[in-house]
Structures are given as C-alpha cells and as structure tokens.
C-alpha cells in the first residue's frame, strides 16, 4: 500500500532520493552555461545594438554569483556543487570540440 503525501508537501523522490540533487544540479548547470549567456546577449543586442552588446558581454559573469551562493549555503551545497560540475563540464566540452574542429579545419 502506497502512502501519498499531502498536496502541499513534496514527495520522497524530491526530498530523500540520493540522486535527485545530483541530476537536477548537473542539468541546471548545463542549461545555465548554455542559456544564460545566449539570452543575455540576445536581450542586449535587441535593446542596445550588437556593438554595445559585445562591450557589455563580460558583465554576464555577474550571474555566476547565483551558483556560488548555492555552494555557500549549507542547505543547497550539494545541488550547487553539481551545478558547478555541469557548468564546468559543459564549458570544457564546448571549448574542446570547438578547438578540435578549428584544428581540423586549419589542417
């Protein structure tokens, strides 16, 4: 017989399952590394033009405060750590594949 949580409470999967924070944090980091810079540049280019958007692009690094705060807070430390893992591994893969394609094209 299954027990059902009341409507206002999260289920056991979100609360107690050991891989939930790891999987959700990793994929949140992956999405964060891809979507945030692209969305930031798209909005800036639409509002201010391409040249000004290129000048303001380094300010996207301010968004890294969010994952940093997640790692600092004790309650979200595991999620934040896996979010950083997702962001760093996505960046490494994108840069590695880009460098490999560039090297192959220049050869």
CB of 28 closer than 8 Å to CB of 81: no
Q: Within a 10 A sphere around the Cβ of 76, how many other Cβ atoms?
A: 16
CB of 13 closer than 8 Å to CB of 4: no
Enter the pTM of the model. 0.77
- Is residue 71 very low, low, confident or very high in pLDDT (cuts 50, 70, 90)? very high
Residue pLDDT, tens place only, 23-55: 999 999 999 999 999 999 999 999 999 999 899
Q: Is the pLDDT of residue 75 over 90?
A: no
- 89 or 20, higher pLDDT: 89
């Amino acid at each position: 017989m299954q027990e059902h949580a009341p409507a206002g409470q999260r289920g056991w999967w979100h609360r107690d399952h050991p891989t939930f924070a790891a999987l959700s944090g990793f994929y949140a980091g992956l999405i964060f590394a891809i979507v945030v810079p692209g969305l930031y540049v798209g909005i800036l280019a639409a509002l201010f033009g391409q040249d000004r958007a290129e000048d303001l692009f380094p300010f996207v690094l301010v968004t890294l405060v969010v994952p940093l705060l997640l790692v600092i807070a004790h309650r979200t430390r595991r999620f934040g750590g896996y979010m950083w893992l997702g962001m760093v591994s996505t960046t490494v893969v994108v840069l590695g594949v880009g460098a490999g394609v560039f090297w192959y094209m220049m050869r």
